[in-house]
Every structure is written in structure tokens, then in C-alpha cells.
């Protein structure tokens, strides 16, 4: 196929930008709040050109006051608008913790009103950004009833899940992995599509062992599965995509097929999403297991700034292969 006829690939960051642009065009109740999202086009250039297209009433610059403008978004959502908050780095979301977990998450239980809002947080490590710009905070919020938490691992899902989140009537945390922004690309459907929130996806079929993962670790799992295949081990990769609610059915069906499970996640080990999925498998899929459930994760420590230490901290393909070898021995 000639280059001229080759379908255009869309990067993970372009997919996010497309989803935002399309939803702003589709629905006049959608607007954005955040730091540097206007003239500057966002810290990672996700909203470049948005101010010229949609104007300052819909692309609204905010001061460094996350608790204040997350609270403003909650108020707007209660009045029928659909705000999208960009937190410049996901780490800074802790400044708006009270508004998210004590107001947005509980408002429907208190008043029966919908709170249709999305908070976007560029998360994760791998960029040598140190402990204050590299965290994976999805586990904090997956523990809070009333919130939905999305962590896409592909460009296709980044677009489809963000569009679904904007249209949802619940407060949603959407964590987009910075390391994937310009590294992951794929050809997206030309027609409009929306992914289903709360549904996992089998990204690779396999028969010997299941890796359950999400976010940037999807790519790590796929690389490890490819290498394991050359050693005769068939690995299935289940991408959660939504870490709350968790798609138990897809996970349990995969484990029933392979009888072995590895939980792979970039977040720190204790009380992470992988621990919760491990508990689900142990409680509801124990009879299918032919070996222990293994967790591959970051250690319980802040994200290091030193490049060699960060590489040691974040699970690598070699770490996953070691877990595959260990589990395959059973």
C-alpha cells in the first residue's frame, strides 16, 4: 500500500483532543475549565486552538485553586451544564479532594440530582518528572462510592471513553497517561463511536495465563505477551479500561479459560486496583485457579526522579516476564 493511501494513525493525545472538540461542537452545555487551557493550549497542548473556536465563555482559564474551580464545576453541573475540568497534572487533584469525594460523589445520594462532570488528570510516570508530577491516583477515587474512574490504555479507548464520560450523568475521574500521549497511535474509525463505561476489553486472546491490567501497563502487558509467545506461553491480556466500576464478568471469564492470573498495575502495590481484582478472583473464581494470583506493581514508595530508579519503580516487560515464568511453573 502506498503512503498516500495508508489510513492516518491518531495518537492517544490527538484522540483525547478530538473527543473534547467533538463534544464541545455537539452539545452547547459542554464547557471546559483549567489552567493554561486557553491561549497556551494546555500544558500538553490538548486544547490548542480551542479558545479561537469556542471562545472564552466555554474555554475558561482558572487560577491555581483546584478546590475552587472544581467546586464551580459541581455547581454548573447541578444547574444542567456539562463541565470538563482539566487538572494540569493528576497529582494536583488532591487539592480538590474535599469537593470531589464529599460533594460531587455524594450529591446524588443527598438530593437525587445529577452531577454530569468530568475531571481529566494527566497521570503516571515514565517522563522523569519526579514524585509530584508522576503519580497514579486512580485507586484513591475508585474507593469512593458515587464516582466512576476511567483509565484508558489505547488511543481508540481514550477517545470513545472520554466521549462517553462527557455524556454520562455522574461525576467521572478520567486519568489519561502522559507517557502514552505521543507514543501510542492507531487508526480510529471515521464514524463517531462511544465506548461503554464499565466494560473491560480483551486486548489479546490467550489460553495459558491471564494478565489483568489498565492504562499504560496495557502496552507493557502486550509486549510481554508477545515475548512470552516465543517461549510457548499463550497470554491473554484483559484491559479493565474502567477501574470503577470493575467488569468482573470479563475478568472471571478469562481466568476460567486460562486458570492463572497476573495483576499488572503502575500504581503502588498495597490497596491498589490489582489487590481488589485479586480479591474478586479469589472470592468468585477460586475453583478455576491452578496457581497463586500474582501482583506486578510499583513498590510502596514515592515515584523517584532519578531515571534508573524510576525504571526500577515502574513495572517493566522483564518484570512481567518473570511473573509469567513463575506462574507457568505451576
29: left (phi over 0), alpha (psi -120 to 50) or beta: alpha
User: Which of 241, 85, 88 shows the shortest CA–CA distance to 150?
Assistant: 241
The number of residues making up the chain comes to: 330
- CA-CA distance, 316 to 166, in Å (whole number)? 33
Look at the alpha carbons of 147, 149, 155, 161 in this order and tell me if their dihedral is positive or negative. negative
CA atoms within 13 A of residue 126's CA, in its CB half-sphere? 20
One of 133, 143, 177, 196 is an active-site residue; which one?
Answer: 133
Q: Is residue 133 annotated as part of the catalytic site, yes or no?
A: yes
Look-up of cell digits 516487560 = 317
Residue 124 and residue 179 in contact, taking contact as beta carbons nearer than 8 Å: yes
Element (H, E) at 255: helix 248-258
CB within 8 A of 95, min separation 6: which ones? 65, 66, 67
Map residue 301 onto helix, strand or coil: coil
Residue 162 and residue 20 in contact, taking contact as beta carbons nearer than 8 Å: yes
Residue 317 and residue 213 in contact, taking contact as beta carbons nearer than 8 Å: no
- Quick one: CA torsion of 266, 212, 117, 156, rounded to 10 degrees? 100
CB within 8 A of 322, min separation 6: which ones? none
Task: Give the residues across from 84 on adjacent strands.
Answer: 32, 118
Q: Measure CA of the first residue to CA of the last residue in the chain; give whole Å.
A: 46
So which residues are the catalytic ones? 133
Amino acid at each position: 500500500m502506498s503512503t498516500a493511501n495508508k489510513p492516518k494513525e491518531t495518537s492517544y493525545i490527538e484522540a483525547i483532543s478530538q473527543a473534547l472538540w467533538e463534544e464541545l461542537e455537539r452539545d452547547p452545555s459542554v464547557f471546559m475549565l483549567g489552567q493554561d487551557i486557553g491561549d497556551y493550549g494546555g500544558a500538553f497542548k490538548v486544547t490548542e486552538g480551542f479558545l479561537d473556536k469556542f471562545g472564552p465563555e466555554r474555554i475558561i482559564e482558572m487560577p491555581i485553586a483546584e478546590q475552587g474551580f472544581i467546586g464551580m464545576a459541581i455547581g454548573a453541573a447541578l444547574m444542567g451544564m456539562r463541565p470538563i475540568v482539566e487538572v494540569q497534572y493528576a497529582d494536583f487533584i488532591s487539592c480538590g479532594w474535599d469537593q470531589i469525594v464529599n460533594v460531587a460523589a455524594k450529591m446524588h445520594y443527598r438530593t437525587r440530582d445529577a452531577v454530569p462532570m468530568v475531571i481529566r488528570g494527566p497521570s503516571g510516570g515514565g517522563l522523569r518528572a519526579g514524585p509530584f508530577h508522576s503519580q497514579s491516583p486512580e485507586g484513591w477515587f475508585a474507593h469512593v462510592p458515587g464516582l466512576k474512574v476511567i483509565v484508558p490504555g489505547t488511543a481508540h479507548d481514550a477517545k470513545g471513553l472520554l466521549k462517553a464520560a462527557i455524556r454520562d450523568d455522574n461525576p467521572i475521574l478520567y486519568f489519561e497517561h502522559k507517557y502514552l500521549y505521543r507514543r501510542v497511535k492507531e487508526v480510529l474509525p471515521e464514524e463517531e463511536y462511544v465506548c461503554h463505561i464499565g466494560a473491560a476489553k480483551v486486548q489479546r486472546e490467550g489460553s495459558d495465563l491471564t494478565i489483568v491490567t489498565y492504562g499504560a501497563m496495557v502496552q507493557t502487558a502486550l509486549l510481554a505477551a508477545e515475548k512470552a509467545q516465543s517461549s510457548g506461553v499463550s497470554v491473554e491480556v484483559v484491559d479493565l479500561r474502567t477501574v470503577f466500576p470493575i467488569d468482573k464478568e470479563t475478568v472471571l471469564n478469562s481466568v476460567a479459560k486460562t486458570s492463572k492470573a497476573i495483576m499488572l498495575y503502575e500504581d503502588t502495590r498495597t490497596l491498589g486496583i490489582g489487590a481488589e481484582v485479586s480479591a474478586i478472583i479469589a472470592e468468585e473464581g477460586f475453583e478455576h485457579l491452578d496457581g497463586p494470583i500474582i501482583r506486578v506493581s510499583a513498590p510502596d514508595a514515592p515515584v523517584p526522579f532519578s531515571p534508573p530508579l524510576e525504571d526500577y519503580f515502574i513495572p517493566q516487560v522483564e518484570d512481567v516476564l518473570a511473573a509469567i515464568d513463575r506462574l507457568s511453573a505451576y
